[in-house]
Structure 1
Amino acid sequence: MSSRRPTPRTLRVTVTSALLVGSLVALSGCSQVAEMFNGMQGQQPVAAVPTAAPAAAAAEMAFDSQFTYDGSVALSSDVADDLELRLDVWAQNPKRTQEWTPAAEKTFGFAVNVHDLRVDEKAVLAQKRRVFISSISITSQTAQTSGQIQAPFQFSADPRSLVPTDTIRSDRGLLLNSFQGGLYVPETVIHGLPADTYGMTLEFAMTVWVEGNANDDASFSQQTVYQYLPVAIFSDAQAAAAQPTPTPTP
């Protein structure tokens, strides 16, 4: 089994969530999927705890995050020549990422899909190199003004348990190819963080089976793909200062 770490080309700003969802397999019962996903998190929510670090110290710390700047990102990895695995992540609630504070509930959605660039996007499945995802895990690491590091958000699951039973699958996992499949999780929640948190990095680890030649069951090989998502966290004062000024009523 091989592992692929992200290359410098992995981070690109995504299109709007509306276009993203339109390209994914249509799923029903999104609220049930979200409840299942959140219920399977491997660790109880971490309550926001006080810290000796002053609020001013957190306000001075910067945490670079394209996700925070734009509210969504597309992260991609090449799993074979001209075969791209794509992870899209977007802020769900609050959608204004400057309102993501340690104590707030922070909800995001994500989707995993694959694109075979050797054929047309609308080509039939038999013409594409198939990719199945057999497991996905998410771990976290905080950046805190106190210098401490914690892992408040953790999750691991078989993707087949997160989607309706009529989604295309096999013993290798859930099919990811565009128009024929994909993993779509509409929302999951990051609960309370330590009060001096000014950033957090999420690591996505996805085990996939990749077909070497289209329509060739004997050509599959397994690998693990990693993607890293930095997320900025703001103090209550920063979040309040970022609120839009209401327009005075004449």
Structure 2
Amino acid sequence: MTSSAVRTTTARENTTMSVPAARPSRRPSRRPSRRPSRRLRTLTASLALVLAGSLSGCSLLDEIGGPDAVEAEKPTAAATEAAYNSQFTRDGTFQSHVKIDGMDFVYTLWPTKSTPRTNEWYPKGNKFFSFTFQVYDLNQKLRDPFRTKRKAYLGNIKVTSRTITTEGGRTQHPYKLDAEAWRITFDPEAVKHPVHGMLITSPKGSFEIRNQKIGPVSDDTRGIELTFIADVHFESSPGSGRFIAEKVKQTVPIAIFESDTPTQVAKIPINAN
């Protein structure tokens, strides 16, 4: 409740009366009236109405926690997400750009149709996601001929995970991946280099893997961190045959919400995206 202070300023009027010089006299000062002015009465009445309305909205019982006190709401999904910030959870997708020597390496993750609502990812039950990894040569325009762009190849792709808990519980690792990219990518005929792996330069190449399962975790889990490490080789200049080796790393936070209900998993075709 808020209150307003009203400050009233009264102007003093000096009145000079002309009288004969030989008979000076002073008129007795008029005694101030104790009756409040109409304006003051109006302001007082308005303040009384405001005060009455405020008291009707919040009783003294509410102030001291009496029998009618309102119980505090339980933390919402938004509050949990705020405590563990996650672009993946908030937007329903995650994309990062790792720039190395004019090459833009792009990780993109999203939940699959089996568990599409990221604000309903709970500790119990499985949760599913897909992701892609590809690279753009920023030294060339997007529509330039492919032969003018530096080729990049992906060898091994590794993903580890760890849980973030509220009660200091044991760290778990509900998801892991460690494989040669060309063996597991969605494209069964990926373009390969004899030594460095599969082509990932856009638009001719891209690594993609679908319906990856994150397993159940402890009830006090409020977040999962996925860490991606890609072994890549890319040309120093188009068609040079000389390659630069790099490890492209990206960590992706995912929020997990408190619930006794397992994450609901819908049945989808094995090749659904």
Worse overlay, 164-173 or 69-78: 164-173
**Which residue type is aligned with residue 169 of structure 1?**
K
TM-score under structure 1 length normalisation? 0.68
Pairing of 1:96-245 with structure 2 (within 5 A): 96-148=117-169, 149-163=171-185, 164-170=187-193, 171-217=195-241, 219-236=242-259
Q: Which has the larger radius of gyration?
A: 2
Give, in angstroms, the shift of residue 104 of structure 1. Answer: 2.2
Q: Percent identity?
A: 27
Q: 1:187 to 1:122 in 2, by over 3 A?
A: farther
Q: Secondary structure at the match of 2:253?
A: strand
1:207 to partner: Cα distance: 0.6
Higher relative CO (CA 8 A, sep ≥ 6), structure 1 or 2? 1
**Aligned match of 1:94:** 115
Bigger CA drift: 175-184 or 160-169?
A: 160-169
| Structure 2, gaps ≥5 residues long | 1-73, 264-273
- Displaced runs of 4 or more, over 4 A: 56-61, 237-240
- Structure (1/2) with the larger strand percentage: 1
Q: Could you report, residue by residue, the CA deviation over 1:6-51 in whole angstroms, capped at 9, with x for unpaired residues?
A: xxxxxxxxxxxxxxxxxxxxxxxxxxxxxxxxxxxxxxxxxxxxxx
Maintained 8 Å contact 1:98/1:239? no
The one-letter code of the counterpart of 1:220 is F
CA distance in 2, matches of 1:178, 1:147: 43
Q: What stretches of structure 1 of length at least 5 have no aligned partner?
A: 1-55, 241-250
One-letter code of the match for 2:190?
T
Distance 2:150 2:138 in 1: 10
